[in-house]
Homo-oligomer: A and B are copies of this chain.
Amino acid sequence: MRSCGIIVEYNPFHNGHQYHAEMARKLSGADIVIAVMSGNFLQRGEPAIIDKWTRAKEALNHGVDLVIELPFAYAVQSADYFASGGVKLLQDLQCDDLCFGTDNQSELDYELFGNFVHNHQKEIDQAYQEIKNNGMSYPQQMTEVFRKFYPNDAFDFSSPNHILGLSYAKENATYEKPMTLYPLKREAAGYHDTKIYQHFASATAIRNAVFSEELDQVKRVLPTQVAIDLSSSPTVSWEEYWPLLKYKVLSSSLVELREIYQMKEGIEYRLQEAAKIADSFHQFIEQAKTKRYTWTRLQRLATYILVNVKQCEIESVRQNNYIHVLGFTEQGQRFLKEKKKNLSLPLITKISKNLSTQLALDIRSNQLYQLGSDRILEQSFGRFPIRVS
């Protein structure tokens, strides 16, 4: 069975995602589409608007055959780590192809780029070291570095999906049997676009509509079942967790805050001062952010604080990774059975108490996610993969 992987968040699932799954199958000619999906906390450091089981079910009903959870330790990370986690899981599943959306307008060959970086890592690192700490932002620095090596390409490290695409390409090139890459140009709605187009809209625009109770305005860009889920299931945003985050920042000593993963350079002082005066999560980040600590970086740090993440926990997952199945179609289940014996990572279809240590970070992040609403169901123990026929 030929398989095509996609690495996704579905926050929430919309028509553009269905199009992505369909095109993945079509472009690659694969029999099954495997989605590696972030769990309840996302790449940009946000709680998912709707829980991972619901999002997995929606994906399985709209073109995906198998949904694997990207562990928290990889999901809530900048592009390179996020991509490395997704590609690692797909590689272990012996996936043939990888299809990803891109907002890049040039005709970059991602595979060539991946191979180039893989073969010139030393020189690139050196070039990066030379311009490091020059006051530019990370995207600006990377653009600068790659201009040296690719003088004819206009590298744009400011569009998030393109950056992810480059990260997938780099990670993929490090494997013995790299997947074939299928970049898919985004139609209609850009990543940060907040307007609602005819049939497609950005997830940001949809979330805004949900939180301002204007779901009707975005119904036409959502599969019917997703619109129902978004109106009947509990939806959460950072604001639901703000009282807990504020409490955590104010009740912790500076020494304790410094033990949190990625807490660096004295940002803990700024965070405590901001927490004292802020009345909302939005205000908190606005208050704390600097040129160096961008919104997304701070949001990710806020997630680490909320979930009380330590460096050693991230390392532990990197050393003991696993494949946690959120759901499958019949095809997806058949694929899993076929590949099962050749997996190097443990396959988890049910979280039992004896996995409490290995999956501690995922289990805890899910428990804390549940505090966002009384109506969010248990996320770990006793949950079986969703079957869609």
- Using known A-B contacts A243-B243, A243-B244, A244-B244, determine if residue A308 contacts B251 with beta carbons closer than 8 Å: yes
**CB interface residues, A 300-331, toward B, < 8 Å:** 306-308
**CB interface residues, A 228-282, toward B, < 8 Å:** 243-244, 246-248, 250-253, 256, 276
**CB interface residues, A 360-376, toward B, < 8 Å:** 364, 367-368, 371
Closest residue of chain B to A360 (Cβ to Cβ) is B253
A368: which B residues are within 8 A, CB to CB? 247, 250-251
A308: which B residues are within 8 A, CB to CB? 251-253, 256
Partner pick for A247 among B252, B253, B256, B371, CB 8 A cutoff: B371
Distance between Cα atoms of A244 and B324 in the complex (Å):
30
Interface SS of A by simple majority: helix
Distance between Cα atoms of A44 and B243 in the complex (Å):
25
Partner pick for A367 among B248, B250, B253, CB 8 A cutoff: B250
Query: How many chain copies?
Result: 2
Interface residues on A, range: 10 to 19
Residue among A244, A252, A256, A368 with the highest chain B CB neighbour number at 10 A: A244
Distance between Cα atoms of A253 and B246 in the complex (Å):
19
B244 near A364: Cβ-Cβ < 8 Å: no
A276: which B residues are within 8 A, CB to CB? 367
Partner pick for A364 among B248, B250, B364, CB 8 A cutoff: B250
Closest residue of chain B to A371 (Cβ to Cβ) is B247
A307: which B residues are within 8 A, CB to CB? 251
B243 near A364: Cβ-Cβ < 8 Å: no
A243: which B residues are within 8 A, CB to CB? 243-244, 371
* Nearest CB in chain B: distance from A275 CB, A: 9
Closest residue of chain B to A276 (Cβ to Cβ) is B367
A250: which B residues are within 8 A, CB to CB? 364, 367-368, 371
* Closest CB pairs A-B (n = 4): A251-B308, A244-B247, A250-B367, A247-B371
The interface of chain A, by Cβ under 8 A from chain B, is 243-244, 246-248, 250-253, 256, 276, 306-308, 364, 367-368, 371
* Contacts A/B (CB < 8 Å), 22 sampled: A243-B244, A243-B371, A244-B244, A246-B371, A247-B247, A247-B248, A247-B368, A247-B371, A248-B248, A248-B251, A250-B364, A250-B367, A250-B371, A251-B306, A251-B307, A251-B308, A251-B364, A251-B368, A252-B308, A253-B308, A256-B308, A276-B367
